[in-house]
Structure 1
Amino acid sequence: MIGRLSGTLLEKQPPHLLIDVAGIGYEVDVPMSTVYRLPPLNSTVTLHIHMVVREDAQLLFGFYEKRERELFRELIRLNGVGPKLALTLMSGLEVDDLVRCVQAQDTSVLVKVPGIGKKTAERLLVELKDRFKAWESIPQMAPLVLPEPIEIPPASAQSDAVAALVALGFKPQEASKAVARIKDDELSSEELIRQALKGMV
């Protein structure tokens, strides 16, 4: 099993990455919380990996921090939560925000995530409350840090942001409207996605 990858970041099409490790290109899916912290293309990147082996595929999910991977593993242990939904949850909410939702048993934020209705949100919060006891005892759950934005042409940044939101489960029209509402042509695709998600979730 693969638990860690360190190599050259060749492609970045959120939520998909291509990482070259000794001449082998690994396709890795990551949450937006990890995308925000990635270095520029052709730089060295190290990710903590969760590997899923199926009859028809071997899937890699990458995370910038170990705590993100542990949260992902807790989520996919829940009934009805697969890797895609877990990534969508972690893309729409910071780790801290999700922990706060669980502590307060607040469904209002979760129901805005694609694929989660009110009943599902209520069930997830109940199941996660016990699992998050260990997380509540950690002294500091520092917010994930956004790196310096990378220069990307506005048109490309907007289309990349829309494509990433669609890949996360939002409808194309919904994604386009969310990106169009952001009136700043200087933002990178990662920042556009971050702001669009804040407006949608």
Structure 2
Amino acid sequence: MISWISGDLVDFWQTNQKFFVLINCQGIGYEIQILESLFLKLKTNQISNNKITLWIKQIKKEDSDLLFGFTSKEQKNFFIEILSIRGVGSQIGIGILNKFSIGEVIIAIKTQNKKLISSVPGIGQKMSDRLILELKNRFKTEIQFEEEKAKDEFEIKDPETNKMIEDLQLTLQSLNYKNKEIKTILPFINKEVDLLAKKDNNLSFENLLKLAMNYLDKESSNIAS
């Protein structure tokens, strides 16, 4: 069973609404389906080097061996939880994570927002009901956390912006910033989002990352002095 892969990025492409990367790991090429958010980062050169590491969910079938790659363990685990529900396949699971952040899905489950869930291609009314019913008890702790986070730190924004902010937090963690530090600067980032969006449509992941790192560096300087 493959849990994660780290190697050189050889190629990436889109086939219909599916997104893939080819990774060379010790001379073996692994074809992996990824989320649209990672594909867009690769396409817009937001990932500068050729090295890539993905958390992997491997699904074995009679005639195929499929690999699904995620940039965080949380995304992978959430994907696995979705797949454990009867009638939910891998493409529906990927579709949910392509359209919404984990936080948005959890809040939708808590508020029983069937319209939001059923807006994902392949999810009808019955499956939406089943997803909400079965996932609600599994994510009690996460639901409470997301409610507090939304209340204390964020106003509700569009799904694309929320996903960008979630990716921003994961990137800052990978750069060895502490969760406590990241949480401190998120309200400032939230205030800047609308300004960046209005300023020549200047809202991008790269700009948000630069802004966040500037805030964090300033905080570190203040503490040091």
The answer to whether 1:130 aligns with 2:137 is: yes
Q: Which runs of 5+ in 1 are unaligned?
A: 148-183, 191-201
Q: Is the 8 A contact 2:41 2:47 kept in 1?
A: no
Q: Which runs of 5+ in 2 are unaligned?
A: 151-164, 172-199, 206-225
Q: Report the equivalent of 1:102.
A: 109
Given the alignment, which residue of 75, 81, 84 partners 1:68?
A: 75
Q: Is the 8 A contact 1:33 1:90 kept in 2?
A: no
Given the alignment, which residue of 103, 114, 128 partners 2:121?
A: 114
Given the alignment, which residue of 14, 27, 30 partners 2:34?
A: 30
3-state SS of paired residue (2:127): helix
**TM-score normalized by the length of structure 1:** 0.66
Q: Is the 8 A contact 1:12 1:18 kept in 2?
A: yes
**Distance of aligned partners of 1:33 and 1:98 in 2 relative to their CA distance in 1, 3 Å threshold:** farther
**Larger Rg belongs to:** 2
Give the structure, 1 or 2, with the largest relative contact order (CA under 8 Å, sep 6 or more).
Answer: 1
Comparing both structures, which one devotes a greater share of its residues to helix?
2
Q: C-alpha separation between the residues in 1 aligned to 2:60 and 2:48?
A: 28
**Distance of aligned partners of 1:137 and 1:112 in 2 relative to their CA distance in 1, 3 Å threshold:** closer
Q: Is the 8 A contact 2:23 2:30 kept in 1?
A: yes
The answer to whether 1:6 aligns with 2:6 is: yes
Q: C-alpha separation between the residues in 2 aligned to 1:103 and 1:76?
A: 19
Q: C-alpha separation between the residues in 2 aligned to 1:4 and 1:111?
A: 31
Q: Is the 8 A contact 1:31 1:90 kept in 2?
A: yes
Aligned-pair CA distance for 1:116: 0.9
Q: Tell me the C-alpha RMSD between the 2 structures.
A: 2.9
Q: Report the equivalent of 1:145.
A: 168
Q: C-alpha separation between the residues in 1 aligned to 2:10 and 2:110?
A: 39
Q: CA-to-partner distance for each residue in 1:8-52, whole Å, 9 max, x for gaps?
A: 111122411111111211000112244355554861010011111
Percent of residue pairs bearing the same amino acid type: 32
Q: Report the equivalent of 1:153.
A: none
Q: Which amino acid aligns with 1:143?
A: E
